[in-house]
Chain A
Amino acid sequence: MTRPALEAAETAVAPRARPARWRGCILPLVLFGLFAVAPALARHGGEGYILALVLRVMILGIAAMSLDLILGYGALISFGHAAFLGIGAYAVGILMSHGVGDAFVQLAAALAASALFALVTGAISLRTKGVYFIMITLAFGQMLYFLATSLAAYGGDDGMTLPRKSLVLGTRILGEGHTFYYVVLGCLVGAYLLCRAIVASRFGRVLRGTRENPVRMQAIGFNPLAYQLAAYVIAGALCGLAGFLLANQTEFVSPAFMTWQRSGELIVMVILGGLGSLHGAIIGAAAFVILEEVLSRITELWKMIFGPMLVLVALFARGGILGFFRGLRRG
């Protein structure tokens, strides 16, 4: 093995050592702690604006984290992940337009529909590798996008505005105070813990092994496809949850939720934060949302600034924001 590859191997394994594992918990705890106290902090000014921004970070954080599960741990570059965001959101919108306002029914529909879509498209896409996988996931995403734009009954191109947030046991509790905020935070923490458990589990170990060397995994008796497909379904369902939350936050559903640009943004968030670290995806989502917000105030052409920044990250900060911090600690 070459020297840089050896060093990469060292950094990859380092967080597993006992003391480092302990340290690995600090950053996520700080992160979730900040989310928890944000409503109290925001009371000093611009509350509505700040909380809407943080909500967006948390929801996109769930979506990016679900992508990290297959991208970072399974090396599956899905370019159609926003489709699941759309499915989750449309589950809310479509059911509500038919008078089904219950959050649990909508959530169940969102999860089931995105899992089913992941199962069917995953079973087909996973037969391809590399650039073909990227292309076929993109194609499935676009298919769904155009399907959504053609749904005249559900707003077509323009999407539809929801009359209110989902109902919990017939009450409008989600619309009151900070309830919705803490529900989203709960979902984020739950999704994070779930992903953490999955990555460390027997299943996760097979998935990680497949990322490193699929032929070796077959040679010890695993069928990589089965594990990749299961991971794809889990990631799809989790992103469906994010879609459900996004529709409830904006009280609006539109095909724009699942453009291929959005899929690209999710990949950017994962890479920006640091591939294969889960909380890195949340940090990446925060960085993306904040940069978008700040830069777009400077100029309408904010992507002219954002683009070169991404190039710099890709060139000089391979581990993303998390990798940068790790480098500081060691250096």
Chain B
Amino acid sequence: MAEPLLRLEHLRKAYGALVVTDDVALAVTAGELHAVIGPNGAGKTTLIHQISGLATPDGGRILFDGADITRLPMHERVRRGLARSFQITSILPRFSVLENVALAVQARSGSSFRFFGDAAAEPALNRAAMAFLEHVGLRPRAHLPAGLLSHGEKRQLELAVGLATAPKLLLLDEPLAGTGHEESERVVATLRRLKGRYTIVLVEHDMEAVFSLADRVTVLVYGRVIATGTPEAVRANTEVRSAYLGEEAA
């Protein structure tokens, strides 16, 4: 097997006495959709924060695309192709939907230390941004202030912004969090379209969505990886059943 695109080695992080990431190892192969699941408080979001650079691990290494990125700041990781979405929607509410995406395109196309010329009127940026909006079905909303979108639409916008950074790997932190049934179906449909075209690490609570989407699943409990494998294998794993799935079966 080829060298994985993302590899975590002996990753450790503690907040005081509380160990939130306990010797985590993870390998994500290029092209796969790798889901990370776990009960509340399993340390899923903290793990994503460490991979994306929002939090620094206490020990261990993060290797991305052949390089050690453990100590790189977030914006450097993004430039290397590691994009993320946030569990709590994180957009620019007073910018238009289009500008939210155009800004991400701008980050990847030439210097932003340009002090003249109307950025909002740069056709290349806007065209590319429109294409990403089309992709997630938000094109009709392009000129609306992003703050006015519905919750589900904001989740879609997060995806479009992530895609616009031209990522090699997309870290999605609970893209279904807080969405209604219909909205979540739309997000799942978008993820299905992205699958295979992008390498995706999906942290998600919604079991149904995870098992239908993922190529491989890693189960995190109290900061430790207790199983990694295909959805079928993980579903059959007895330790997983008792630690996590058992709750739902009961």
Contact = CB atoms under 8 A, between A and B. Distances in A.
A212 B92 contact: yes
A78 to B, nearest CB: 20
A276 to B, nearest CB: 10
A9 B106 contact: no
B107 A203 contact: no
A221 B147 contact: no
B54 A215 contact: yes
Contacts of B75: 217-218, 221-223
B119 interface: yes
A12 interface: yes
A201 interface: yes
A212 to B, nearest CB: 4
Contacts of A209: 92, 95, 103
Interface in B109-139: 111-120, 122
A280 to B, nearest CB: 17
A9 B148 contact: yes
Contact of A13 (B90, B94, B119): B94
Given A12-B94, A220-B104, A220-B165, A201 B118 contact: yes
Given A9-B147, A202-B119, A221 B92 contact: no
Interface string B90-107: 111111100100011011
Contacts of A215: 54, 90
B115 A220 contact: no
A203 B112 contact: yes
Given A201-B117, A201-B119, A206 B93 contact: no
B145 interface: yes
A5 B95 contact: no
| Residue with the greatest number of chain A CB neighbours at <10 A, chosen from B95, B96, B111, B164 | B95
Nearest to B114: A202
Given A221-B75, A223-B75, A10 B165 contact: no
Contact of A5 (B79, B99, B107, B147): B147
B94 to A, nearest CB: 4
B84 interface: yes
B200 to A, nearest CB: 16
A326 interface: no
Nearest to A13: B145
Contacts of A13: 94, 96, 145
Interface string A11-34: 011001000000000000000000
A216 B148 contact: no
A205 interface: yes
Contacts of B118: 200-201
B93 A203 contact: no
B112 A227 contact: yes
A8 B148 CA distance: 11
Nearest to B106: A202
Contacts of B45: none
Contacts of A1: 93, 147
A218 B90 CA distance: 11
Nearest to B146: A9
Interface of B: 52-54, 73-75, 78-79, 83-84, 86, 90-96, 99, 103-104, 106-108, 111-120, 122, 145, 147-148, 161, 164-165
Closest A-B pairs by Cβ, 8 of them: A221-B78, A9-B147, A221-B107, A220-B104, A13-B145, A202-B119, A218-B74, A202-B114
Given A12-B145, A213-B91, A215-B54, 16 more contacts: A9-B93, A201-B117, A202-B111, A202-B117, A205-B120, A206-B106, A206-B112, A212-B92, A212-B93, A212-B94, A216-B92, A218-B53, A218-B73, A220-B107, A221-B78, A223-B73
Interface of A: 1, 5-6, 8-10, 12-13, 16, 197-198, 200-206, 208-209, 212-213, 215-223, 227, 230
